[in-house]
Structure 1
């Protein structure tokens, strides 16, 4: 079983091409939404209040409950904050393996590049957004997600998949290194967890390569498999844009190498 976990500003249905591809390779796959997500993009846009106020722990608990109903540990594939959630669940021994794609920064990661701050500015500009759901404009989406693809493609992806996102996880991640009990803390020293693959896009504004490489260093005290894979010309839209198959097939090849 493979569970796909989306990040902020994308609906779970954006994983549909991945689910189809993984099914063709023999995997049973699903992409449950976050707490408050509706079944469709439009329904979620129409009810942003249902997303507001949900933090990292809420999302982790939500997926942990779903995993508890499965007959065995799933493989987790997460993008952005979904990548952070996948790492937390892997560290809790709730997954057989995890692929974290352009994953949001976990506790202990120090680099905060200016592009990451600008990508998150629509949330950070108002402290009250910690309790709200915030939408991006098409222009903001192009900067945060679509900076490595044509503007027309970015705008089309925005119209197809973009939804409001709770601001709370961003504030929690930003304060992680000042909070000893931060929900962004991951058990990176777990020796017995399943393998982890970190994927990074070299042109990502939202989660620049420096964040992913710093994340890799957090796992230095664990002997469990921790790999990194870079796609130099890709940005934060790499799971949904016209080049998504390259990323998906790389994840499939890695899973095969792990005998999963």
Structure 2
């Protein structure tokens, strides 16, 4: 009797809709997995609806989103592989540390508590939300120019604009504020159990041209796991920015993730 396909849960980050994972879902299904890409809590089903209803996700924090995906993991036939991008990567790390996942892949993950570098590029990329303290409990949208800097800097302006029109949605600003203040908070929602030695394997992926989560931040994230004996690896991709999961080179990243999962026996 053939074993059931391993479930895979894709988790998007800020300013992208869950349907941006569609090519990945299709590839993973063809590769023998049982993939899904659920949206964040209350996220409308389509990009157009999300743009029309920004208030639906306003005020969501890191734990709200983590608990949402944890319940989905608990309802799975077996612990899934979780693959997240940006804040989705941070959430994937939290789920792995909590024992909710068999393995995790964190692609350009938002900084967790303990990460100290704050490159100027990252600060600039976060300014559309962090620049106004009143945004904390609001949903914030990016302009095309802001998307170009934060996501599409490593692709052509034409492609960046096309990705913006296709996938960009308003997102809650609260996770950015929580991550920014994490090292000054005793019980930050951006904290991850990096010392867990019984967890499944973790792959961190960094785009070396990323402005939103610069490589220095991901390398610092890797160092936070130095006290764990569980598998923790970093793969870096030259010439790739924060749009690496949705731009013309997405399949390079996806195929690298599939190869890594096979190496882990998953």
TM-score range, shorter chain: over 0.9
Post-superposition, which runs of at least 4 consecutive aligned residues in structure 1 deviate over 3 A? none
- Answer yes or no: is 1:27 the counterpart of 2:45: no
Aligned match of 1:206: 212
SS state at 1:72 partner: coil
**TM-align CA RMSD:** 0.4
Aligned match of 1:109: 115
Counterpart among 167, 172, 175 of residue 166 in structure 1: 172
SS state at 1:15 partner: helix
Counterpart among 56, 69, 73 of residue 67 in structure 1: 73
Q: Unaligned 5+ residue runs, structure 2? A: 1-6
Counterpart among 220, 231, 241 of residue 225 in structure 1: 231
* TM-score normalised by L of structure 2: 0.97
Between the two proteins, the alignment pairs up a number of residues equal to 260
SS state at 1:235 partner: coil
Q: Offset of 1:36 from its aligned partner?
A: 2.2
SS state at 1:197 partner: strand
Q: Unaligned 5+ residue runs, structure 1? A: none
Aligned match of 2:92: 86
SS state at 1:223 partner: coil
Aligned match of 2:46: 40
Aligned match of 1:97: 103
What does 1:102-251 align with in structure 2 at a 5 Å threshold? 102-251=108-257
Q: Offset of 1:6 from its aligned partner?
A: 0.1
Distance in 2 of aligned mates of 1:256 and 1:68:
23
* TM-score normalised by L of structure 1: 1.00
- Answer yes or no: is 1:52 the counterpart of 2:58: yes
Distance in 1 of aligned mates of 2:207 and 2:85:
11
Distance in 2 of aligned mates of 1:198 and 1:256:
16
Distance in 2 of aligned mates of 1:36 and 1:183:
20
Distance in 2 of aligned mates of 1:193 and 1:124:
33
SS state at 2:58 partner: coil
SS state at 1:45 partner: helix
